[in-house]
Amino acid sequence: MKLQNRTFIVTGATSGMGRAIALEFSKEGAKLILSGRNEEAAEKLLKLLKTEAYFLAGDVSDPAYNQRLVELALDKFGKLDGLVTNAGMLGLGSITELEIEKWTKTLDVNLTSVFYLLKSALPYLENSNYGSVVINSSIAAFKSFPNHPSYCASKAGLVALSKQAAVDYAPKVRINCICPGPVDTPFIHASAAAFPDPATAVENAGKNTLVQRLGEPEDIAKLALFLASEDASWITGGVYTIDGGIMAKG
């Protein structure tokens, strides 16, 4: 049990990678505060978890909601050991097409929300004698995709924010960033609309990896677990692609 009695907040827990991370962390003994907006999906997930867990519905772009997630962890568990910041949105459209409001919302949901949650959580993480944060970015931080300007910019911001926060909060809190390639969740199917041939975009993304398949949410959950656990006690400020080898191809 790699996370026995550890307490984590997981955002974007109602679907895809966040859901797989919640399941994996619970299997390893973590108590969880789950974030998302889809209450029905959250109810179904809560029934599958092996450990004490609570869901608080809300929009991660609201600073007060992030504060409430931390307060709920303290109220229910008396401490907070770690975070997995994973909620994200796409905000598709080229720069000339994209409404200013959509740009701002994408940056708020993908990037500024992580600042809000860190701001609320770090004082408690520093005092927990554990302190581990995993931030879910994307290979979009390094590799451009058509019609994803706000997405790519927000994900690049997360890489920089992770490394910067790791410097300020070491050694008490370890902060690492993961950058997935194409993973089979509703998200990647929605992103296909931005590619020249939406009908084949997802299939091609899988074929384009060196291992010739899309990632599964569980592939990402295993890396998140490793980084969140004491197995990674010498790792902070790291940025890890997990992409079936896409970035190695250049």
Ligand X SMILES: NC(=O)c1ccc[n+]([C@@H]2O[C@H](COP(=O)([O-])OP(=O)(O)OC[C@H]3O[C@@H](n4cnc5c(N)ncnc54)[C@H](OP(=O)(O)O)[C@@H]3O)[C@@H](O)[C@H]2O)c1
Q: Which residues bind ligand X (CB under 6 A)?
A: 12-18, 36-38, 59-61, 86-89, 109, 136, 138, 180, 182-183, 185-188
Residue 77 to residue 97: CA distance in whole angstroms = 46
Reading the block at residue 183, the tokens are 């993973």
- The residue (of 106 and 132) whose beta carbon lies closer to ligand X is 106
At 231, give phi and psi (nearest 5°): -60, -25
What are the tokens at 102? 């959509």
Q: Which of 65, 151, 169, 240 is catalytic?
A: 151
Output 82 or 88, the one with its CB closest to ligand X: 88
The smaller minimum CB distance to ligand X, of residues 136 and 209, is found at: 136
177 touches 240 (CB < 8 A): yes
Distance CA(5)–CA(29), nearest Å, equals: 6
Per the annotation, the verdict on 240 as an active-site residue is no
Residue 11 exposure: Cα atoms within 13 Å on the Cβ side: 32
Nearest residue (CB) to ligand X, 44 versus 50:
44
For the annotated catalytic residues, the residue numbers are 151
